Every structure is written in structure tokens, then in C-alpha cells.
Amino acid sequence: MASSRKESYLVLHAQMGDRRALNDLLGLIQSPVYRHILTIVHHEDLAADVLQETFVIIVKKLYWLKEPAAFRAWVYRIATRAAWKAVRKHRPESGMVGEASDEECDGGHSHRSSANPALVRILADEERQILASLMDGITAGCRLVLNLHYFEGMKIREVAEILGISEGTVKSRLGSGLKQLRRLAGNREDWTQT
């Protein structure tokens, strides 16, 4: 809760033209938003470009944000839209982007993990590698929902709002994603024996 209050405080000060508050605010969200974008685009350079584009939009439109407490969800919506736009734009380039749509949740594979280091910090290094591998093996739509809900700690309502889908769809993708993770974990001897 304290970090949420700090974020709201920084939003208000940034809206009043405080450059230091704006820099601090962008610094707070940089890593989690980058991980979120990477979950969608699967390419580090493209993710960095999308993050930069997201930050430009934030700086231009922050003044009009009416609810400072809604800042993080607002940022994730901007980042999600920019990332899917980049996916559509770069799709023809072979190997650049792994997934075609955030609507998919029943097949396909990615090339990067989106596991939040804060969540997996308690796991042993070997277990972290296994979790990252498992996250790589689930579909794009499910991976996004799992990442936002479990790794970034967002509520189902917030995830639905960010991704522009219903809460029922979020719950369905959570269930499907967890099922995929269980199946993948069951197929790994190194995971089931640790």
C-alpha cells in the first residue's frame, strides 16, 4: 500500500511539472512494464523500443490522468496496446515475434520468460530456470494473464481492464494457464523431483 501511495504522490507532482517526480515515477515502473512488454513481443530490442514509445505517451498524457491511483493500470493499458501494435507491425519479419495474438490461449510457444524476479526470489536458481522454461511453454494470452495477476500482483478486474477483456475471460485464461503449467511441470522430472 505504501508504494501505491508513493506512486500517487509522484503522479500528482509530475502532473504539476516536477521533473524529478516524473523521473522517479518512470523509474518505478520501468522494469515491470518492460517485462510485461517482453511477454508480448518476445524480442528484447523491440521490447525496449515499445517501452520508450510507452514512456513518450505517458509523458504526453499524464497531465490528463484524473485518478492518480489508476496510474499503473493506465500504464499497462498503454504498454499493452503499443506492444500488440508492434507485434502486428513486425509479424512479417521472421523470428522477430513469436505469438500472433493475445486472444490465443490454447497452443503455441514463446521465446522469453516473463516471471517476475520478486516472486521467484525465494526459489533456488535451478527452480527459477525451470519456472522460466515453463512460462515460455504456455500460450501468449494465458501467459499475459498469469504474469499480470500472479507476478505483478494485479486483481482480476485490473487485468481485465488492462487487456480489454471480461473478468470471466481473465478467470478462464488463468485456469487454462495454470492447467498448462501443471501439465508442463508434470512432464519435467527435474521439477517434480525437487
pTM attached to this predicted model: 0.68
Question: What span, in angstroms and rounded, lies between the C-alpha atoms of 194 and 192?
Answer: 6
Same domain, 62 and 142: no
pLDDT digits (tens, 9 = 90+) for 38-60: 888 888 999 999 999 999 999 99
Amino acid 162 reads I
Cβ atoms of residues 114 and 151 within 8 Å:
yes
- Is the pLDDT reported for residue 86 higher than 50? yes
Of 57-61, 105-109, 147-151, 185-189, which gets the smallest average pLDDT?
105-109
pLDDT at 141: 85
Same domain, 71 and 142: no
What is the distance of C-alpha 11 from the center of its chain? 21
Task: Mark whether 32 and 76 lie in a shared domain.
Answer: yes
pLDDT above 70 coverage of the chain, percent: 74
Residues 165 and 106 in one domain: yes
How many domains, in total, are found in the chain?
A: 2
Q: Do residue 144 and residue 167 come from a single domain?
A: yes
